[in-house]
């Protein structure tokens, strides 16, 4: 049996394990180990199990992951999200749907110090959802806005998804972060446009807010200032070459900790922040270890090379190949966690896409946006279930109904980035 055939059988086995709710990290590690053993030999396969996890956990390139998570957790524990939402509310004053606009804007700003979509959605939902419900907002609009707004955390740097993509494909982490800025802002703008259209067409979805004066708007900007300062410091430092992304993560975590400390972070909250960061980091690192073992197996099976040759022999135009890859991402996004999907698919599709002539940085942005869609589309829709835990009385169907306009917004953003690649590459 050829290495490629063994490879395809093992991939099918891995997908079967995932389908029966086996943890993705374990499914990747198990099939990678068995596949490598069948193709090469089992003694070297056991050696990979012995040394692989150690090499991954001691890889300095992965150290920003817990630091970026810690930034978001510190901000959440110190209730910085509440002040952020309060400040954003004053900016939209008496607009109909102003609180929804404030919520999605707050999600975008919170994303500047949180690399996690789930953390962004959870933090802002706890603050904004009760206020929106109190003011008579429709459940679908309130929950849909927050579920979709949370996805901005996966694109606006510092983004764990962009970081992992850069490390997997050996691209510059700094360039990936810079490339994510304009698409992230574009996503925020399109979400705001979607809300404005919704409340204009269906005024019963939202009530007008309380008018605010110019002075109140200026005071409200203070709630946004810490986030803007940290974001500018991190991205400006990377862009200006003052420090590496790894150093930026440590500096950002320290800065967020100091701000949280000034705002009354208690010892109990500090301990909870460390515990939550350890839990989330361990979950991601287990998936990285599984992906590393699976990636070693893919290398010896030569599946990526055979796929590149096969796709090249079809004579398809480059954009047809890109469309096929994005459709695959959308389908997988409906049933898989976003980080797991990136770790699983990028080693396979990256050679195909680059062989078709697409820019690797640009494709990273495109793939992460497509992964975003999986966070708010059924049946998995992780962000939707995060909102469901905050608002258990709202039917899950109602939340999915609320995110539909934002899914359309993401499709528009995807189309614009494909038509105008400079939207991602213009700042590089």
For residue 209, the enclosing domain spans 59-265+302-425
Domain-located, residue 270: no
- Of 275, 301, 327, which closes a domain? 301
Q: Is a pLDDT exceeding 70 seen at residue 36?
A: yes
Same-domain check for residues 308 and 412: yes
Q: CA quadruple 161, 407, 17, 69: dihedral positive or negative? A: positive
What's the chain's average pLDDT? 85
Total domains in the fold of the chain: 2
Same-domain check for residues 39 and 106: no
Domain-located, residue 33: yes
Domain-located, residue 110: yes
Tell the burial category of 104 from Cβ atoms under 10 Å away from its Cβ (0-12, 13-18, 19+). buried
Same-domain check for residues 168 and 206: yes
Domain-located, residue 322: yes
Same-domain check for residues 42 and 184: no
Domain-located, residue 279: no
Residue 14 · residue 294 · CB < 8 Å: yes
Domain-located, residue 272: no
Q: What is the mean pLDDT of residues 237-241?
A: 78
Same-domain check for residues 107 and 253: yes
Lowest mean per-residue pLDDT among 112-121, 149-158, 394-403: 112-121
Q: What is the mean pLDDT of residues 273-282?
A: 88
pLDDT digits (tens, 9 = 90+) for 183-196: 999 999 999 999 99
Q: What is the mean pLDDT of residues 12-29?
A: 84
Same-domain check for residues 17 and 135: no
Q: Which two tokens stand for residue 258?
A: 């100091």
pLDDT at 17: 87
Domain-located, residue 342: yes
Same-domain check for residues 333 and 386: yes
Model pTM?
0.86
Same-domain check for residues 406 and 328: yes
| 388 — pLDDT class (breaks 50, 70, 90) | confident
pLDDT digits (tens, 9 = 90+) for 62-98: 888 888 888 888 887 877 777 888 888 888 767 888 8
Same-domain check for residues 24 and 118: no
Q: What is the mean pLDDT of residues 181-208?
A: 90
pLDDT digits (tens, 9 = 90+) for 283-321: 888 888 888 888 888 888 877 777 777 777 777 888 988
pLDDT at 176: 92
Domain-located, residue 277: no
Same-domain check for residues 171 and 191: yes
Same-domain check for residues 307 and 297: no
| 115 — pLDDT class (breaks 50, 70, 90) | low
Same-domain check for residues 247 and 199: yes
Tell the burial category of 127 from Cβ atoms under 10 Å away from its Cβ (0-12, 13-18, 19+). buried
| 411 — pLDDT class (breaks 50, 70, 90) | very high
């Amino acid at each position: 049996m050829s290495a490629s055939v063994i490879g395809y059988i093992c991939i099918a086995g891995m997908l079967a394990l995932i389908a029966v709710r086996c943890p993705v990290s374990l499914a990747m590690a198990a099939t990678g180990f068995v596949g490598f053993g069948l193709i090469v030999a089992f003694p070297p396969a056991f050696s990979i199990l012995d040394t692989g996890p150690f090499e991954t956990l001691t890889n300095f390139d992965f150290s920003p992951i817990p630091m970026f998570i810690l930034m978001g957790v510190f901000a959440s524990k110190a209730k910085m999200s509440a002040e952020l939402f309060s400040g954003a509310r004053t900016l939209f004053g008496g607009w109909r749907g102003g609180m929804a606009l404030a919520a999605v804007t707050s999600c975008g700003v919170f994303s500047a110090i949180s690399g996690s979509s789930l953390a962004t959605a959870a933090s802002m939902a706890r603050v904004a959802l009760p206020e929106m419900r109190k003011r008579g907002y429709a459940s679908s609009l309130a929950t849909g806005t927050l579920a979709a707004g949370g996805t901005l955390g996966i694109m606006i740097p510092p983004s764990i998804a962009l970081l992992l993509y850069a490390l997997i494909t050996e691209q510059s982490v700094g360039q990936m972060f810079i490339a994510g800025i304009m698409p992230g802002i574009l996503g925020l703008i399109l979400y705001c446009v979607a809300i404005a259209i919704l409340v204009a067409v269906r005024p019963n979805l939202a009530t007008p807010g309380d008018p605010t004066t110019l002075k109140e708007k200026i005071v409200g900007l203070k709630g946004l200032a810490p986030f803007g300062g940290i974001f500018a410091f991190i991205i400006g430092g990377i862009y200006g070459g003052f420090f590496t992304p790894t150093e930026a993560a440590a500096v950002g975590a320290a800065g967020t900790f100091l701000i949280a400390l000034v705002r009354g972070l208690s010892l109990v909250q500090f301990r909870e922040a460390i515990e939550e960061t350890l839990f989330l980091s361990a979950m991601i690192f287990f998936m990285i270890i599984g992906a590393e073992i699976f990636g070693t197996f893919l290398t010896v099976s030569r599946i990526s090379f055979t796929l590149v040759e096969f796709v090249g022999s079809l004579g398809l135009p480059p954009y047809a190949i890109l469309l096929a890859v994005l459709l695959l991402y959308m389908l997988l996004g409906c049933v898989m966690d976003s980080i797991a999907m990136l770790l699983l698919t990028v080693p396979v599709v990256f050679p195909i896409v680059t062989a078709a002539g697409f820019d690797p940085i640009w494709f990273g942005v495109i793939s992460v946006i497509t992964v975003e869609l999986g966070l708010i589309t059924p049946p998995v829709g992780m962000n939707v279930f995060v909102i469901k835990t905050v608002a258990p009385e709202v039917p899950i169907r109602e939340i999915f109904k609320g995110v539909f306009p934002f899914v359309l917004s993401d499709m528009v953003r995807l189309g614009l980035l494909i038509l105008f690649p400079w939207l991602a590459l213009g700042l590089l």
